[in-house]
């Protein structure tokens, strides 16, 4: 017991890096703290049903759950070394021998033995092994939460991208109608001798350009839809979503809180911290291996020369012993194991610090993207409004013969680009909001905080 007070527990993990007092990017004044079902803030019932389906059947989430079960079993395995091991052995045998020139001789034997062994954990090696397994178990729990958060964010982003691509397809088809309408005007002017064949060829090229833009968008929409099906754990065949545009979705305003709160709000940071704790315990295990180990053994049993019978004059045995094992020379193997464990701990210290810095950058980047894309959307809506006016006036002046077709073509091109750009900016706003939810850890909080 006195020697047990010398147990090695390892060095305390390094603290997290200094956290800033506040985020550099300002939050929206009416922003709200994320709720447990934060994806409902986008105002899409279909998205909520897709997230529920993904949480129920996604293969990555099932794999993460199995890893948690494996870690739980490892804790039980490590904890078993803290208790004595008991074994029971029983057997009976009959032996017949024949000496050359003699008669057959028969011998019977029966035995039953109960044995126990126990390694005295003087230096805390077994306790540290269990501590490492428990830390690994915590890390696996946090990893599962990270997978869950990543899955929900992936479903939301894929869903928004599908809707955005469908909206862009609708815009492209509408623009094709506009181009064909202008083509009809040009064709009429050419037949009446008011325009040249060059104008007709130019507008025909504009129509064909719009038609050529449709198949790539259709392909992207199908591929993104199939990727969404995989996230839900479903086969792509027959999978479909009902909504067709992002215009009906709400872009939620999210309150980021304080930077220091990230340490308890992000499961990936909690996992990195738990892995560091496991590495710290492994250092203690490696150091304890340098010290002598003491084992206690004991056994008690019965032996008889009668087959399957211990009642006919059995012989009782009892034994107890202790052993001391100390490595004298191993070529530096044990010392090298200590160096490996210590280096691994230092590596995970830096990994934890890097993860914290990356988390801060994730939040700052998402806040910046949300604010900038919101302003960009307002400007792009004004650009689109003026582009529509410009095309309408260009058509009127072209019909009147005041301008040539190049003015109309330029106005068409400006309008088409403005509409497509606005659709992509709206998608960027939604994805920036999802990124902020994910960067903040959703509504997850470390247990006990």
The reported pLDDT for the residue numbered 112 is: 86
Q: Is the pLDDT of residue 282 over 60?
A: yes
Please state, rounded to an integer, the average pLDDT across all residues of the chain.
90
The reported pLDDT for the residue numbered 404 is: 85
Using only the alpha carbons of the chain, give its radius of gyration.
Answer: 37
Give the tens place of pLDDT for each residue, 114-170: 999 998 888 899 999 999 999 999 999 999 999 999 999 999 999 999 999 999 999
3-82+122-290+332-439 falls under which CATH superfamily? Outer membrane efflux proteins (OEP) (1.20.1600.10)
Q: Is the pLDDT of residue 105 over 80?
A: no
Q: Is the pLDDT of residue 2 over 60?
A: no
Coil, helix or strand at residue 271: helix
Paired residues of 385 in beta bridges:
none
Confidence band, pLDDT 50/70/90 cuts, at residue 5: very low
Write out the CATH class of domain 85-120+292-325. mainly beta
The reported pLDDT for the residue numbered 308 is: 66
Coil, helix or strand at residue 87: strand
The reported pLDDT for the residue numbered 18 is: 81
Give the DSSP per-residue string, 211-255.
Answer: HHHHHHHHHHHHHHHHHHHHHTT--STT---S---STT-----B-
The reported pLDDT for the residue numbered 3 is: 46
Confidence band, pLDDT 50/70/90 cuts, at residue 4: very low
Q: Is the pLDDT of residue 407 over 70?
A: yes
Distance CA 244, CA 122 (A): 68
Give the tens place of pLDDT for each residue, 220-240: 999 999 999 999 999 999 999
Q: Is the pLDDT of residue 442 over 50?
A: yes
Contact between 428 and 375 (Cβ < 8 Å): no
The reported pLDDT for the residue numbered 107 is: 76
Distance CA 24, CA 349 (A): 26
* Range from 273-277, 387-391, 399-403 carrying the lowest mean pLDDT: 399-403
The reported pLDDT for the residue numbered 131 is: 95
- The 10 Å CB-count burial string (b at 16+, else e) for 127-151 is bbbbbbbbbbbbbbbbbbbbbbbeb
Q: Is the pLDDT of residue 7 over 70?
A: no
Distance CA 438, CA 359 (A): 10
* 82: enclosing H helix or E strand: none
State mean pLDDT over 401-414.
89
- Domain extents in the chain: 3-82+122-290+332-439, 85-120+292-325
Give the tens place of pLDDT for each residue, 291-350: 998 899 998 888 777 766 666 667 788 889 898 888 888 889 999 999 999 999 999 999
Distance CA 176, CA 144 (A): 47
State mean pLDDT over 264-284.
94
The reported pLDDT for the residue numbered 70 is: 96
Q: Is the pLDDT of residue 14 over 70?
A: no
Question: In the chain, how many H helices and how many E strands?
Answer: 8, 4
The reported pLDDT for the residue numbered 405 is: 86
pTM of the predicted structure, to 2 decimals: 0.87
């Amino acid at each position: 017991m006195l020697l047990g007070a010398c147990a090695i527990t390892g060095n305390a993990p390094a603290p997290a890096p200094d956290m800033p007092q506040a985020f550099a990017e300002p939050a929206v004044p009416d922003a709200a703290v994320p709720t447990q079902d934060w994806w409902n803030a986008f105002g899409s019932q279909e998205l909520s049903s897709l997230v529920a389906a993904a949480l129920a059947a996604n293969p990555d989430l099932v794999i993460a759950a199995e890893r948690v079960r494996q870690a739980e079993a490892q804790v039980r395995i490590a904890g078993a070394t803290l208790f004595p091991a008991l074994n029971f052995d029983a057997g009976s045998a009959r032996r017949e021998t024949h000496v050359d020139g003699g008669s057959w001789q028969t011998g019977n034997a029966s035995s039953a033995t109960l044995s126990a062994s126990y390694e005295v954990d003087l230096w805390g090696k077994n306790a540290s092994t269990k501590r490492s397994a428990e830390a690994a178990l915590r890390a696996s729990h946090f990893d599962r939460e990270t997978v869950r958060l990543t899955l929900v964010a992936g479903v939301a982003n894929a869903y928004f991208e599908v809707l955005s691509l469908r909206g862009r397809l609708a815009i492209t088809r509408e623009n094709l109608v506009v181009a064909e309408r202008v083509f009809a005007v040009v064709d009429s002017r050419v037949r009446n001798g008011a325009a040249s064949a060059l104008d007709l060829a130019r507008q025909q090229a504009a129509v064909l350009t719009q038609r050529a833009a449709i198949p790539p968008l259709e392909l992207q929409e199908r591929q993104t839809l199939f990727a969404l099906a995989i996230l839900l754990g479903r086969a792509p065949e027959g999978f479909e979503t009902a909504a067709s545009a992002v215009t009906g979705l709400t872009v939620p305003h999210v309150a980021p809180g304080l930077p220091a709160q990230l340490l308890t709000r992000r499961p990936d940071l909690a996992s990195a911290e738990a892995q560091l704790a496991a590495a710290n315990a492994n250092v203690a295990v490696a150091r304890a291996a340098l010290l002598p180990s003491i084992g206690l053994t004991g056994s008690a049993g019965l032996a008889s020369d009668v087959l399957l019978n211990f009642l006919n004059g059995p012989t009782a045995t009892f034994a107890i012993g202790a052993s001391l094992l100390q490595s004298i020379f191993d070529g530096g193997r044990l010392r090298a194991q200590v160096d490996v464990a210590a280096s691994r701990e230092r590596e995970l210290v830096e990994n934890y610090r890097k993860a914290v810095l990356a988390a801060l950058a994730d939040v700052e980047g998402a806040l910046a993207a949300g604010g900038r894309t919101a302003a960009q959307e307002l400007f792009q809506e004004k650009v689109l409004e003026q582009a529509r006016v410009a095309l309408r006036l260009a058509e009127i002046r072209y019909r009147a013969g005041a301008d040539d077709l190049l003015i109309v073509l330029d106005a068409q091109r400006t309008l088409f680009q403005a509409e497509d750009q606005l659709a992509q900016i709206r998608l960027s706003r939604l994805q920036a909001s999802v990124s902020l939810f994910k960067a903040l850890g959703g509504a997850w909080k470390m247990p006990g905080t």
